[in-house]
Amino acid sequence: MNHASDIIEIEGLQTRFGQHIVHENLNLEVKKGEVLTLVGGSGSGKTTLLRQMLGLEYPAKGHVRIFGRSRYNDSLTLRKSIRNRTGVLFQQGALFSALTVYDNIALPLRELRVFDEQTIHDLVMIKLNMVAIGPEHTHKMPANLSGGMIKRVSLARALALDPELLFLDEPTAGLDPELSQSFVEIIQDMRNKLDLTIVMVTHDLDTLVGLSDRIAVLAEKKVIATGSLARICNHTHPFIKNFFKNIQDKHQHTDPRKPSWKTDPTHL
Ligand SMILES: Nc1ncnc2c1ncn2[C@@H]1O[C@H](COP(=O)(O)OP(=O)(O)OP(=O)(O)O)[C@@H](O)[C@H]1O
Ligand SMILES: [Mg+2]
């Protein structure tokens, strides 16, 4: 606990909606510079946990600290400064449907009220370039974009303020394997260029293998294991065995040419 390298610290968290307890005595740390992937069953509380890290929801008990500061009892100025240091790609894409691609990405920049429109234009174009969206798409509305493009524009918006900490909730869900792979490559590339810490939720094996430094498993209302993929794969908890067995089967059936991480987990 309380390591200097921890960018997020969660301790003794309890989350409840009425009588329904989602998290009980949950502990988790996210270290500076890592990609931490959160896995867990549907409804296990992954999105809720991200929302609590973002300060959009508050737990019934426990502590969430981010950049060494409590998520609670903080001033509006502090909340804003934390918000400006974080970016998020929500599970549902969540672009503003009434705004163009350009305006969606410009929005967080305009809200800061420090840039003129020319600077905003340059920054928007840089971010679009990072996610491989050409300038011909800037004036399109979200309804006219493909699923893969919505994810990439959402990512560009999440990156608008050059965040230190990025939250990705199922970034490749609903994308075909090729688009999914290109999304993973964009994020890998960004990690090399920017000094990013990423907290990601995914159930897609290729995304998980392609990006994770560490995995945290959410089950039985808490984080039951954390570690490298190789380490997590050896865990005997039934949920973990089942979770990785399912995706391992899928992996083997979909592309037998790919090297099997099961036979050689050390390369992970
Ligand atoms: N605002 C809310 N009011 C009541 N219940 C809620 C609310 N938000 C989440 N829940 C419940 O909390 C549980 C966890 O939801 P959450 O969306 O965090 O799960 P998840 O792990 O992200 O699931 P998925 O993999 O399907 O995205 C679910 O049972 C959900 O119904
Ligand atoms: Mg979710």
Cα–Cα distances (Å) from 25 to 15, 63, 219, in that order, read 9, 10, 12
Q: Is the CB of 46 under 6 A from ligand 1?
A: yes
Minimum CA distance residue for ligand 1 atom 10: 17
Which pTM does this prediction carry?
0.88
| pLDDT tens, N- to C-terminus, the chain (268 residues) | 556 689 999 999 999 999 999 999 999 999 999 999 999 999 999 999 999 999 889 999 999 999 988 877 667 888 888 888 999 998 876 799 999 999 999 999 998 888 999 999 999 999 999 999 999 999 999 999 988 899 999 999 999 999 999 999 999 988 888 889 989 999 998 888 888 999 999 988 889 999 999 999 999 999 999 999 989 988 999 989 888 875 556 555 544 444 444 434 333 3
Among 41, 57, 58, 39, smallest CA distance to 169 is for: 39
Pocket probe for ligand 1: among 16, 24, 47, the residue whose CB has the most ligand atoms within 8 Å is: 47
Structural domains in the chain, CATH included, are: 6-256 (3.40.50.300)
Cβ of 62 below 6 Å from ligand 1:
no
Looking at ligand 1, which residue's alpha carbon is closest to its atom 9?
48
pLDDT of amino acid 256: 44
Name which of 46, 18, 62, 24 is nearest 221 in CA terms: 24
38 CB within 6 A, ligand 1: no
Which protein residue's CA is at the shortest distance from atom 17 of ligand 1?
A: 47
CA of 214 to the centre of ligand 1 (A): 23
pLDDT at 243: 84
Q: Which of 105, 108, 110, 107 is nearest to 128 (CA)?
A: 105
Reduced to 3 states, what is the DSSP secondary structure of residue 17? strand
CA of 47 to the centre of ligand 2 (A): 4
Q: What is the residue with the minimal CA distance to atom 28 of ligand 1?
A: 43
Pairwise CA distance, residues 49 & 183, whole Å: 23
